Structure 1
Amino acid sequence: MPEQKSKLLESLEQDGFVLIPSLLSQAEIDSLRIEAKKTVDLARSGSWPYVRTLPKQFPPWNIGEGESPAKDGIWGVQSLMNPKLATSSSFIKIYFSDKMLGVVKELLQCEDEYLVMELFNLLIRPDRDFELRWHRDDIPSSATAEEELARLAEPAWHAQWNMALYDDSSLIVVPKSHKRARTAAERDMSEYETGVQGEIRVEMKAGDVVFYDNNILHRGKYESGKERATLHGSVGHRNGKGLRARNVLQHGLREWVSDIDLSVLNEEEKKRAEGMRKRLLGMAEESGEVGYSLDG
């Protein structure tokens, strides 16, 4: 008999996203804000090489030799669990916490031994106003309707989320678009079209978390005058290795994932995290070179 789906999973499958209010306590928000500020200050100073540079939207964010990574402005900080980042322990703790992984297991309908470590990054106030075009994370805009439908018919095999440390309404989605090919109007619209039929802004308060299908039709609108620190992560399911490899490995985890310091976790969390990392490394070994999902 198939496992009964939770209300959260039903909402995610129906709409392509689900908002969980106040998942973080005020104490967790306050603590993570402090660590996020240290991280952002380091990145804006040009002292952290793993950043999302303006105006580039998608990986790779390559830095020229001898250049400051932040010289043209940034809108995100990558590799939060990299052991070379002084604040990594705080991000490791929340990523591998029962609180987060409990929701992930509910949405993936699995237990610990199926979880795969994936991404954890920080989306921040850009140095100038910046927008992401309409896109699906792992399906190029050049895809035909048939190609879109074939990819969308595959199981997601991951849970992806935004965790707001400040109020955040940057994410704009078209609900239910994760189940269908783009309409003729959506194919013909401009990359930054406003007022798209059915679009909504996801209104998040500090401490809220939104889980969403990364192939929902979505974009982002980021204001340089509004504080933003939103943790952006994903966890995979081991059955999705082939489908998830490019989407995850294009972010450059191979270089440092073996060195993550899991000693900051309790014994039970550490054991689970070690298994998740092992499955990520296995996926990387099997996949070889994966390229990039999107251009731009």
Structure 2
Amino acid sequence: MKRPRKVVTSTNVQPETITSITTSTTDPYTAAREALDRDGFVVLSASLFPSFDLDALRSAASRITTAARDGSWPYIRTLPKQFPPWPQDPSHGIWGVQHLLHPSNPDHLVFARSYFDAELLRYVGALIGCEQEDLTMELYNMLVRPDKPFELRWHRDDIPSTATSDEERQRLDKPACHAQWNLALYDDSSLVLVPGSHRRARTPAERAADPYQAHVPAQISVRLKAGEVAFYNNNIFHRGVYDCTKERMTLHGSIGTKKAGMQRARNVLQHGVGEWAGQWDLDGEEGEWVERAKGMRKRLVELGGESGQVGFFAEDE
């Protein structure tokens, strides 16, 4: 497993404009879809999600992060590993907290209200072009301040770095079957990406780049204010650069569609969500989100039952 000998500071180029959808945007759902298709990412204003309770989310996030750091919450992303499976030993530091919706999390309902938020789901449906009744529960995790300087290598989530240009194009030509987003609870500029790279194979410069190269042509940092949501194509050419001196609690979610079938099974189930989703009991819970959650969870359980053993995308990295 190759890792960098040292962490270098990224010198990111900022774009002149980043498409940001606000309450004043005409037809924000269509505008968001157009931006995602064109650029591979889109930033949505916090004002679009009035039901998000940022204070409650921050408090819940702080409690589970503390539990993750002291070893009492076992579902963690541990340094220096980038992809699952992660060791459950936090002694070398963590950079993420897994399974926010797990029923053993005392605050799972706090996170569930944001994950199954009606307005968020409207955007998800618009971005992947599916009806609400087809949406499938996938993942809800959190990216946190690492305990030491840490960076992710340049990658696409579902295309290995060994893929040829033809193999990349074949995968990128397939329609999107899920939406992935970051909801920043504190200002966050950790996501670095190359706009438009989700629509093409890597350039010669990108192929030749060191996996942890501080700058590649046309890269930007996606700068989020607290409460903003960034949706992005998971196969855009991207990486993460994490500042261990700055607080970070960014909810990292994905939702799919039942039409995707086995195409999404490995990327979702490799995180272990299928091990507990069927036991997540919402009977007796109140709120307009509950019935949506039951249906989406049911579709995830069905996907797990059909998939069997799915393996890992990059087990040794």
Of residues 41, 45, 48, the one that matches 1:17 is 41
Separation of aligned partners in 2, 1:264 and 1:18: 36
Aligned-pair CA distance for 1:204: 0.3
AA matched with 2:38 = Q
Q: In the alignment, does 2:164 pair up with 1:144? A: yes
1:111-190 correspondence runs (5 A): 111-190=131-210
Cα offset, 1:266, TM superposition: 4.0
Q: Paired residue for 2:292, among 272, 278, 284?
A: 272
State the SS of the aligned residue for 2:72: coil
Closer/same/farther in 2, CA of residues 32 and 198 from structure 1, 3 Å limit: same
Separation in 2 of the partners of 1:54 and 1:166? 22
Q: CA deviation at 1:271?
A: 2.0
Query: 1:66 corresponds to which residue?
Result: none
Displacement of 1:99 = 2.3
Distance in 2, matches of 1:126 and 1:31, equals 22
Three-state SS of the structure 2 residue aligned to 1:203 is strand
The equivalent of 2:69 in structure 1 is: 44
Q: Is the 8 A contact 2:30 2:126 kept in 1?
A: yes
Superposed CA deviations along residues 205-227 of structure 1, whole A, max 9, x for unmatched, are 00000000000000000011000
102-111 vs 124-133, which moves further: 102-111
Distance 1:147 1:264, change over 3 A: farther
Q: Deviations over 1:104-155 (max 9, x none)?
A: 1121222221100000001000001100000000110001111111111111
Cα deviation per residue 1:145-177 (whole Å; 9 max; x = unaligned)?
Answer: 111111111111000000000000000000000
Superposition pairs for residues 60-79 of structure 1, below 5 Å? Answer: 60-63=85-88, 69-79=89-99
Contact 1:92 1:262 in 2 (8 A): no
Name the amino acid aligned to 2:213. E
Report the RMSD for the aligned CA atoms in angstroms.
1.5
| 1:241 and 2:261 aligned | yes
Residues 140, 281 of structure 1: alpha-carbon distance in 2 compared, 3 angstrom cutoff: same
1:33 to 1:263, Cα distance in 2 relative to 1, 3 A: farther
Query: Which secondary structure state, in structure 2, belongs to the residue aligned with residue 230 of structure 1?
Result: strand
Equivalent residues of 1:136, 1:214 under 8 A apart: yes
Find the residue that maps to 2:139 and give its secondary structure. Answer: strand
Corresponding position: 1:287 with 2:302 = no
1:159–1:264 distance in 2 versus 1, CA, 3 Å:
farther
With 260-269 and 29-38 compared, the bigger mean Cα shift is at: 260-269
Partners of 1:24 and 1:45 lie apart in 2 by 33
Q: Once the two structures are superposed, what CA deviation does each residue of 1:57-110 show, in whole Å capped at 9, x if it has no partner?
A: 1100033xxxxx211110100010001111111011111111211211121222
The residue that corresponds to 1:258 in the other structure is 278
| Letter aligned with residue 58 of structure 1 | F
Where does structure 1 lack aligned partners over 5 or more consecutive residues?
Answer: 64-68
* Counterpart Cα distance in 1 of 2:202 and 2:219: 13
Q: 1:82 to 1:26 in 2, by over 3 A?
A: closer
Residue in structure 1 matched with residue 6 of structure 2 by the alignment: none
Q: 1:9 to 1:265 in 2, by over 3 A?
A: farther
Instruction: Check the 8 A contact 2:179/2:233 in 1, yes or no.
Output: yes
Which amino acid in the other structure matches residue 141 of structure 1? S
- Opposite residue 125 of structure 2, the aligned amino acid is K
- Unaligned stretches of 5+ residues in structure 2: 1-28
Among 203, 210, 224, the alignment partner of 2:244 is 224
* Offset at residue 195 of structure 1 (A): 2.1
Q: Secondary structure at the match of 1:242?
A: helix
**Letter aligned with residue 276 of structure 1:** M
> Partners in 1 of 2:99 and 2:120 — Cα distance?
18
TM-score normalised according to structure 1 size: 0.93
Q: TM-score, normalised by structure 2?
A: 0.87
User: Alignment identity in percent?
Assistant: 53
